[in-house]
Amino acid sequence: MEKQDLKIITYNIWDLPLWFNKERQARIAKVAEFLKKQNADIVCLQETWDAENQNLLQKMMGPDYFCAFGEKKSQKHWLKNFSNFCGGLMIFSKFPVSEENFFPFPRLNYSFTEMCGHKGFLEAVLETPWGKLRMIDTHLHSWIFWGKKFRLKQLRKIMSRLEANDLPVILAGDFNQHDILGHELFAAMLANNNFNIPAGEESLFSAPTYRRENPFVDMWPNRVPFSHRLDYIFTRGLERWGFAVKDHRPIILEPTLSDHDPVELVLTKD
């Protein structure tokens, strides 16, 4: 029987190997346990910067999932314990991965930490029961200060990669842009590249994923005065396979496991 549902999760898991981020391995193990229970078909992770925890995630997700990194795991960052090969991005997929590429964003900008993060976008072509699917996982420039212009350039680079491709696309990740459709340039770029906003977003699209009441947010250096919606999933071309939105929402975990909340999108066949 043909598979009828497609479930995608995007999650910034806040795995920074820094002194203020304590008990990371135990927390990342709980992240993996949560993801296994969710039984998603595709999982996009951001901020998986610790090489040992990347191996832990891969081991705990198990043989049901293929894993995309984009480059050889032997490449390491010049900062201790940071991996440099994937910009902190990982894609887990129940579908075989036939192609994977990591595209770094330009490193030169105002933020030393952003340059150290080696951000970019990870592309994986998945062999699904309905055909080839292009999965894009990304983590755009920090939302603080004047990062908006960098995020626009980064999103434009992603779109330039997709211009000549006619495969259905799912674009997910931490966009670091609150109320992204409320900003004309971002909304126009998504619309001009035929990305759909999943149904039901009138009530859920503005629901925050970086919540002020989250204890991992309410601490230095993350503390913010207001909650923000920073994490999104967009689709393009899946209507040709007869998919419609069944559910799309942030997932509130108690206790929380990261400074961000995961976001899920469930599609179902008409």
For residue range 205-226, list pLDDT tens digits in order: 679 999 999 999 988 778 888 9
Quote the pTM value: 0.93
The alpha carbon dihedral of 83, 228, 20, 150 has a sign of positive
Q: Please choose, from the candidates 233, 9, 267, the residue with its C-alpha nearest in 3D space to the C-alpha of residue 130.
A: 267
Architecture of the CATH domain 5-269: 4-Layer Sandwich (3.60)
Q: Enumerate the domain spans of the chain.
A: 5-269
Structure tokens at 206: 């503005």
In sequence order, the β-bridge partners of residue 122 are 102, 137
Please name the residue that has the structure tokens 């039901």: 200
Q: Please choose, from the candidates 41, 36, 42, 35, the residue with its C-alpha nearest in 3D space to the C-alpha of residue 13.
A: 35
Could you give the CA distance from residue 182 to residue 209 in angstroms, rounded to a whole number? 16
pLDDT for residue 1: 36
Structure tokens at 195: 């990305």
Where the chain has pLDDT below 50, the residues are 1, 74
Cβ-based neighbours of 154, under 8 Å, separated by 6 or more: 105, 119, 121, 138, 140, 141
pLDDT for residue 74: 44
Question: 3-state SS string over 169-235?
Answer: EEEEEECCCCCHHHCHHHHHHHHHCCCECCCCHHHHCCCCCECCCCCCCCCCCCCCCCCECCEEEEE
Q: Please choose, from the candidates 40, 43, 47, the residue with its C-alpha nearest in 3D space to the C-alpha of residue 24.
A: 47
For residue range 168-192, list pLDDT tens digits in order. 999 999 999 998 988 899 999 999 9
The alpha carbon dihedral of 248, 219, 137, 153 has a sign of positive
pLDDT for residue 142: 84
